[in-house]
Amino acid sequence: MDQAIEYGEEVLAARRAGVPIVALESTIISHGLPRPRNAEVARELEAIVRAEGACPATIAVLDGVARVGLGAAELERVANESDLHKLGRRELPLAMAAKASGATTVSATATLAQRAGIAVFSTGGLGGVHRGYVESFDESADLLALAETPITVVAAGVKSILDVPATLERLETLCVTVVGYATTTFPGFYLNSSGSPLSWSLDSPEAVAAVMAAREALGLHSALLVANPVPLAEQLDPSLHDEALAEALEGAQRDGVRGQQITPYLLARLVEATGGAALEANLAAVRNNVRLGARIAVAAAR
């Protein structure tokens, strides 16, 4: 048990009973979805984990305390407080020292989950290398966090607003193990495929668990990224996606949006331009990843 972390009652009970645990991020609740649907989705994702025989551990920082596993009241707080910080790994000590509250991004969630001894973390899409990197040097902290954190992350690739081929090159440079789940191409977040090929593919939770065991035996300190595509029937229409993304990128350039504001700007424009279809594809991907993450955690526990 880590004294820097406080654990929810359900997580503590799961540990005592030997029930596998799956980490979930809180940024999607606080910053990624409109109210009151965000709270409904948070409860739904936790229910999916339980239905697969695992325990959900939604992670956040509340009043300076890193919380692994939120109770019902804490989940509602994350969903409804309007002034929560968005915390990456670098902001964690600042929030804890200031006794501030915030939702955790991929990098912060992975860091706290691994420190808490949780082997599997499910999310939607990762950050990565932004378009026009050679001018802006804009790259998500998610990539370095994956390079330094020995945890299994289930995600639907990286957000399609990013430079996917460049992100894959960076993941290779950072020695992050990437494997497709029942796919030989890297997922496209809203789309089933980005078109970028993958060298390795697995087709069962047990196969992923075997890779996890081999990584642990080798003592590697980087993540295993399980790239799990959104189902074809639930993906965003590719033509609509490409048209909406082109308009969003043009709007960002016209409006001078850059830095930390570019990602929320582009995602919001995509949702608006697709009449909400992009949001539904995002949620379909998250549900799919949470379900698979729970199955992997159960297989690894066996």
**Whether pLDDT at 46 is above 60:** yes
How far apart are alpha carbons 145 and 150 in whole angstroms? Answer: 9
**Known catalytic residue at 159:** yes
Mean pLDDT of all residues belonging to the chain: 93
Q: Within the chain, which residue ranges are assigned CATH 3.40.1790.10?
A: 1-118, 120-302
The superfamily CATH assigns to domain 120-302 is Indigoidine synthase domain (3.40.1790.10)
pTM, 2 dp: 0.94
CATH architecture of 1-118: 3-Layer(aba) Sandwich (3.40)
Per-residue pLDDT of 53-71, as tens digits, reads 999 999 999 999 999 999 9
Q: What tens digit of pLDDT does each residue of 113-149 get? A: 999 999 999 999 998 886 665 555 568 889 999 999 9
The pLDDT tens digits for 235-284 are: 999 999 999 999 988 998 888 877 667 777 888 899 999 999 999 999 99
Q: How far apart are CA 44 and CA 28, in angstroms?
A: 13
Active-site position among 10, 52, 139, 159: 159
Given a contact cutoff of 8 angstroms between Cβ atoms, the answer to whether 176 and 222 are in contact is yes
Residue 46 known to be catalytic: no
| Residue in 25, 46, 91, 139 annotated catalytic | 25
Q: CA–CA separation, 220 vs 239, rounded Å?
A: 40
Helix 238-255 and helix 262-273: axis angle, to 10°? Answer: 130
Span 191-243, pLDDT tens digits: 999 999 999 999 999 999 999 999 999 999 999 999 999 999 999 999 999 99
